[in-house]
């Protein structure tokens, strides 16, 4: 069994593999590399096999999404630590040791993410993870270094090593034993917020999630679904409701869920006002989808509660990020912490 398995989930991503595999191979000498192909139609598989014969390729017959693809692949990989990394991520020299040392010294840590900066603006944090993920009282996610679309510049302010609520799936180090113990990724999510769900399960099971600012990677972002794609809007809003329903105490859910729905509808109205009706429609469809499968969601919540009885979580933000950002104009993470 290898200690570290770096696993790239690929779907028609030859362009990114050509661009970012050289650095990954060069800077990951002590790890085993895997490319998991999610039913691609391009020639990315033949490219990997011909150019990097040492990389093991795992073929999936169809696109199982982020969750299904990784779940299927990781059942076939034996390692102490998995590194789930997007094909559009550029790693840097020395990116592995700081994270591995953190995992080695504290067995209670189940998952870690490095500092994630934007590939196209390398002085700024990147949307998907930035300097570690947080959630507010209604399970709206945000990051240290990124509130909604406002990205902070990197001045070393997050070169720390701290516990966070969730670690980004763009570059996620996870202890394999804990991943399989808690059933891996929830395939109902397909993609988007699945790592938040996984980290929430870790918290409920009594484990820790960390950010390691001494390790840096650069993320292009939007390689599979861009922010302009209404499918992404649909998944984010549908999965946001599922996340809250699955993990919150019922005594709090009775008031949190209606408030969350109200704010989602406010977001839909904002989409209409700003000339994005397809995204407003995506929010509506997301809510209808959640309601149509409410029975399934209820059964899944009950199953999760039987396995993970503890509802107490740490490193959550007690305020409402929507109000703080749009009403009180707080644009950076430090401003949230001054109250």
Q: Domain-by-domain residue ranges, the chain?
A: 2-219, 230-313
Burial class (CB within 10 angstroms; exposed 0-12, middle 13-18, buried 19+) of 320: middle
The pTM of this model reads 0.96
Helix, strand, coil fractions of the chain, as percent rounded to 5: 40, 20, 35
Helix (H) and strand (E) counts for the chain?
12, 13
Largest CA distance in the chain: 57
Task: Give CA angle at 64 (47, 222), nearest 5°.
Answer: 70
Closest by CA position to 279, among listed 290, 264, 289, 291? 264
How far is Cα 7 from Cα 23, in angstroms, rounded to an integer? 15
Neighbours of 275 (CB within 10 A): 8
The DSSP 8-state label assigned to residue 188 in this structure reads G
Q: Work out the pLDDT band at 312, boundaries 50, 70, 90.
A: confident
Q: Work out the pLDDT band at 226, boundaries 50, 70, 90.
A: low
Q: What is the pLDDT of residue 125?
A: 98
Tokens describing residue 301: 């919540």
Between the alpha carbon of residue 29 and those of residues 5, 17, 32, 97, the distances in Å are 11, 17, 8, 11
pLDDT in tens, 36-79: 999 999 999 999 999 999 999 999 999 999 999 999 999 999 99
Superfamily of domain 2-219 in CATH is Spore Coat Polysaccharide Biosynthesis Protein SpsA; Chain A (3.90.550.10)
Give bridge partners of residue 171 from the DSSP assignment: 85
Evaluate the CA torsion angle 156, 162, 167, 173 in order and state its sign: positive
Ranges 90-94, 141-145, 190-194, 237-241: which has the least confidence: 190-194
Ranges 29-43, 51-65, 98-112, 224-238: which has the least confidence: 224-238
Do 62 and 35 meet the contact criterion of CB atoms below 8 Å apart?
A: no
């Amino acid at each position: 069994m290898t200690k570290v398995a770096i696993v790239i989930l690929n779907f028609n991503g030859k362009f990114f593999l050509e661009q970012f595999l050289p650095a990954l191979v060069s800077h990951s000498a002590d790890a085993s590399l895997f490319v998991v192909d999610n039913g691609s139609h391009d020639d990315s598989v033949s490219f990997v096999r011909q150019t990097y014969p040492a990389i093991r390729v795992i073929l999936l017959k169809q696109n199982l999404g982020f969750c299904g693809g990784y779940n299927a692949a990781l059942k076939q990989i034996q390692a102490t630590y998995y590194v789930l990394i997007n094909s559009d991520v550029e790693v840097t020299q020395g990116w592995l040791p700081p994270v591995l040392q953190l995992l080695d010294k504290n067995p209670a840590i189940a998952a870690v993410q490095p500092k994630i900066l934007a590939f196209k603006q390398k002085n700024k944090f990147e949307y998907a993870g930035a300097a570690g993920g947080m959630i507010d009282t209604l399970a709206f996610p945000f990051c240290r270094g990124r509130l909604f679309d406002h990205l902070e510049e990197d001045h070393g302010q997050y070169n720390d090593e701290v516990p966070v609520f969730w670690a980004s799936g763009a570059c996620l180090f996870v202890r394999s034993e804990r991943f399989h113990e808690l059933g891996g990724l929830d395939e109902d999510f397909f993609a988007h917020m699945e790592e938040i769900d996984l980290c929430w399960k870790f918290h409920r099971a009594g484990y820790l999630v960390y950010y390691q600012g001494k390790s840096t990677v650069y993320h292009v972002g939007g390689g599979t679904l861009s922010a302009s794609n209404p499918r992404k809007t649909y998944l984010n809003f549908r999965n946001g409701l599922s996340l809250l329903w699955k993990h919150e105490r019922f005594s709090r859910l009775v008031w949190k869920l209606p408030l969350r729905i109200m704010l989602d509808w406010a977001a839909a109205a904002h989409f209409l006002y700003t000339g994005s009706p397809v995204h407003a429609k995506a929010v509506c469809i997301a809510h209808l989808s959640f309601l149509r499968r409410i029975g399934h969601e209820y059964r899944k919540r009950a199953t999760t509660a039987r396995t993970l009885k503890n509802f107490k979580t740490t490193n959550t933000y007690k305020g409402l990020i929507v109000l703080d950002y749009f009403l009180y104009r707080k644009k950076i993470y430090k401003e949230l912490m001054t109250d």
